[in-house]
Amino acid sequence: MEILTGRIAVVTGGGTGMGRELVRQLAKEGCHVATCDVSSTAVNETKVLALEDAPSGTRVTTFIADVADESQLLAFRDAVANDHSTPSINLLFNNAGIAGGGSFIDDDRSSWERTFAIDWGGVYLGTRTFLPMLMEASEGHIVNTSSINGVFASIGPSRPHTAYCAAKFAVRGFSEALITDLRVNAPHINVSVVMPGHVGTSIVINSGIVHGKEPDDLNEEDLVKIRRQLAQGGTPVDEVADEDLRKGVAMFGEAFRDLAPLSAASAATIILDGVRKNQWRILVGEDAVAIDEMVRTTPEQVYEPEFWQSLQSKGFFQGFGL
């Protein structure tokens, strides 16, 4: 879809990060956008920012919906149809996502399932919900955000990351399989799978909010677990006071955002360029490009510590991989 002006796009998770930047850049081009998020404050800020740069007449509408809940997505779909007076949309960005549920063994089942339900379920339900509106359009494009963790199921040799990786592999597999399904059954719709490396967003902070585990909310049991997990990673913190540990958790979220090699705005530009060129796989960032190549070149080696050391020696994922 070379020209985005005058189209209608749906973006999930438009409150911050790459979702916000997608909304802003789409609107700047005169593409009408409907976006949802779980944070009304964030998504309303996005709307204000997007309209500042958009040509007059561009519509940016917002809705509060949890992408893991089909009834909320159906209500969002009805609002899109109503707010934009349309039976059809052209672009669907299934972008919302969180981190969490790292260990299948050591973490709560609830945090594992919440992460999987948003990261995979949100893409699945988002596609199911909006497919009828894409079918009604003359041209459509589904853009599913996976991750480089949809290629490589690790953020380092001592940090389990199971729910997120399982979900992101599912998103990639689903999107790749949709290519054939759409060609056979809906050839006017294309699909892209987006695989970012480390992008500077508040995903670590926002994931704490979604899981109800902001640094100040961490209870005794949470802190014991964080101490155990840090020790497993070779960073014993027995001498560190609880308050300082909470501060450390907050600092990690900020460092993830502030020390990334790529901004959310640059990531959104790469994604939209990929959509315009109809690329079915959109790797975002030099780290993502390098990991994708290394995984394909030495598949048997990828979960060995040397593979991670080799990534870090190239300057990638200096402690903040997602």
> Footprint of ligand NAD on this chain (CB under 6 A)?
12-13, 15-19, 36-39, 42, 66-68, 95-98, 118, 145, 147, 196, 198-199, 201-203, 206, 210, 264, 322
CB of 197 to ligand NAD, least distance (A): 6
Structure tokens at 275: 């959509």
- Within 8 A by CB and 6+ apart from 130, the residues are 10, 77, 89, 92
Nearest to 22 by CA among 271, 317, 277: 271
Helix (H, G, I), strand (E, B) or coil at 126: helix
**Number of Cβ atoms within 10 Å of the Cβ of 42:** 20
Nearer to ligand NAD, 72 or 90 (CB): 72
Q: Position of tokens 């996502």?
A: 97
- Nearer of residues 133 and 271 to ligand NAD, judged by Cβ: 271
Separation between Cα atoms, residue 146 and residue 95, nearest integer Å = 8
Q: CB 3 → ligand NAD: shortest distance, Å? A: 25
CB-count burial class (<10 Å; 0-12, 13-18, 19+) for 295 = middle
**In the complex, what is the shortest distance from the CB of residue 118 to ligand NAD, in angstroms, rounded to a whole number?**
4
- In whole angstroms, give the CA distance from residue 213 to residue 86: 39
- Nearer to ligand NAD by Cβ, of 139 and 279: the residue is 279
Minimum separation from the CB atom of position 199 to ligand NAD (A): 4
Rounded CA separation 274/23 (Å): 16
**Min separation Cβ 230 and ligand NAD, Å:** 21
What sign for the dihedral angle of Cα 27, 33, 38, 39? positive
Nearer to ligand NAD, 29 or 66 (CB): 66
> Do the beta carbons of residue 185 and residue 245 sit within 8 Å?
no
With respect to ligand NAD, which residue has the nearer C-beta, 232 or 263?
263
CB of 228 to ligand NAD, least distance (A): 25
Q: Which of 3, 2, 5 is nearest to 28 (CA)?
A: 5
Task: Name which of 15 and 101 has its Cβ closer to ligand NAD.
Answer: 15
* 240 versus 295: smaller Cβ distance to ligand NAD: 295
Nearest distance from residue 51's CB to ligand NAD, in Å?
Answer: 18
